[in-house]
Amino acid sequence: MVGILGLVVLYFATRLINLTALPIFTDEAIYIRWSQIGARDANWRFISLTDGKQPMFTWIMMVLLRVFDGFDPLYIGRFTSVLSGLAALFGVVCVTHELFRSKKYAFAAGFLYIIMPFTLWYDRMALYDAMVVSFSIWSLYFAVRLVKSFRLDMALLLGLILGGGMLNKTSGFLSLYLLPATLILFDWKKKNRMFRLVRWFILVLISAAVSQVAYSVLRLSPFFHIVGQKNNVFVFTLSEWMPQPFRFLAGNLRGMFDWLRQYMTLPVFLAAFLPVFIRLPKTRERLLLYAWWLIPFVGLANFAKILYPRFILFMSIPLLMIAAQSAVFVVSSIKKPLVRAGIIGILVLPSLYISFIAVRSPKEAPIPLSDRYQYIDDWPAGDGISEVVTYLAAQAKLKQVHIITEGTFGLLPYALEIYLVDMPNVVITGIWPLPDDVPAVIYEAMKEEKDVYLVLNESQVAPENWPLVRIGEYQKGRRIDRKLRLYRIGTMLARGMD
């Protein structure tokens, strides 16, 4: 109990310190804005489906936004992931203990979960992925309990967890498809083998039915069909894949293994595959974990059109549990304290170093370049948003302002709407793409004697024919060629209308 309490304290310390130090990321802005809208208007509880995203993450955030009304929405959005990560932490401990029947292994897996840069980074982002991990690991837990016990209550609980995962993200279906892998733990030598196998199959069908009943809630929305359309943006359909099977497999696998190695750190990554070379106890349990990782990993590499490191986050957790077993087994077999301490240091110090930087100064965190591009160094990153919000909010206290944003979806205008839309003197209009000539909406705003501002994010050069006065520019991470810019529409435009 003391060990679990220690893990919880360490978890919250690593997740809550400097939680909003990293500027808001474009997808975070989308999900938080959706949640704001849904929290205020029940007619929009399925708003995420308008972009083909399942709503579970936004539903939880809607509740928290109402409970903690008045808090920074970015903090609440990221706190939603913190809570999801806490559930995942408990899941890792429970699954490891259930499989290996060792408190040492379970504690080590929980500790590695807390310090691993992969989990730490995404537990601190207002993204779906921490919740994906939580549903995935708890699906595995109840699937293991089901194949061992053949109990109806386990089947029902498994069905509810599977349904929750599907309501969160399409990858939740993978946990259902992976259920046959749990037959690795089936006792094939025990009497009444066929009877028990049929019983397990019936219980799995019940779990699947419960999950589909839960998922069918989405059919209440007229936007349900967009989910399938969105899935096809990220993965090849069978008809698309057949003319060029395995064309991208090797390249995707190289990139995904590289992300896995960087985010898990090399020592933990190698520890996860140590049992391939040395004999460790609980072989069948470990084979199940390898299957729970490898099958979706290869499947994603084979069918993915678009790949980001966060897509493989939930797949890394089974490897983390194997790494915990390997580490404890090796350390326990060594008698010399100094050697033992050295091995522990080699295993955990790289994770502690990267995670410490990610908490203290997230812009300096040595994460994969593909993620630096998104979160820190390019147009999806939110540098400048807080400064622009502060400036425009101050101006709106003096007179009416009309804000034109470059973009109708994403960081702009959503990141500004999150903080400014409730101010009575503020109107926000998104335009994409920006026309060469000044649009009519700006003339109309000036006729109403409003101050009009333009916020540029993706374009690095302002429209030539717009009379703009630059107020500020804000660099994206280390990229001096990527900036968010704030302009005011010049007063000469208003005079030209007279």
Give the tens place of pLDDT for each residue, 397-443.
999 999 999 999 999 999 999 999 999 999 999 999 999 999 999 99
Residues 444 and 340 both lie in one domain? no
Amino acid at 87: A
**Mean pLDDT along residues 361-386:** 96
Q: Are 86 and 8 in contact (CB under 8 A)?
A: yes
Q: Is pLDDT above 70 for 81?
A: yes
Residues 305 and 430 both lie in one domain? no
Residues 267 and 350 both lie in one domain? yes
Q: Is residue 347 part of a domain?
A: yes
Contacts of 126 (CB under 8 A, 6+ apart): 24, 25, 28, 31, 32, 61, 74, 77, 78, 80, 81
Distance CA 98, CA 77 (A): 32
Q: Is pLDDT above 90 for 490?
A: no
Q: Is pLDDT above 70 for 88?
A: yes
Closest by Cα among 313, 272, 271, 265 to 290: 272
**Mean pLDDT along residues 359-366:** 96
Confidence band of 491 (pLDDT split at 50, 70, 90): low
What is the number of structural domains in the chain?
A: 2
DSSP reduced 3-state for 361: coil
Q: Is pLDDT above 70 for 497?
A: no
Q: Is pLDDT above 70 for 159?
A: yes
The domain spanning residue 399 has which CATH number?
3.40.190
Q: Is residue 476 part of a domain?
A: yes
What pLDDT sits at residue 493?
52
For residue 167, count other CB atoms closer than 10 A to its CB.
Answer: 19
Residues 188 and 69 both lie in one domain? yes
**Mean pLDDT along residues 79-102:** 97
pTM for the predicted model, two decimal places: 0.95
Residues 403 and 278 both lie in one domain? no
For residue 281, count other CB atoms closer than 10 A to its CB.
Answer: 12
Where a domain ends, among 371, 406, 438? 371
Residue tagged 């500004």 (tokens): 416
Q: Is residue 317 part of a domain?
A: yes
Closest by Cα among 380, 442, 449, 439 to 415: 380
Rg (CA), the chain: 25
The whole domain housing 23 covers 2-371
**Mean pLDDT along residues 181-209:** 94
Q: Is pLDDT above 90 for 301?
A: yes
Q: What share of the chain is helix, strand, coil (3-state, %, to 5)?
A: 70, 10, 25
Residues 329 and 210 both lie in one domain? yes
Q: Is residue 207 part of a domain?
A: yes
Q: Is pLDDT above 80 for 181?
A: yes
Q: Is residue 378 part of a domain?
A: no
Distance CA 287, CA 278 (A): 14
DSSP reduced 3-state for 486: strand
Residues 317 and 437 both lie in one domain? no
Task: Give the range among 50-59, 176-185, 258-267, 463-472 with minimum mean pLDDT.
Answer: 463-472
Q: Is pLDDT above 90 for 245?
A: no
Q: Is pLDDT above 90 for 258?
A: yes
Closest by Cα among 216, 134, 209, 147 to 176: 209
Distance CA 42, CA 317 (A): 36
Distance CA 374, CA 193 (A): 52
Q: Is residue 413 part of a domain?
A: yes
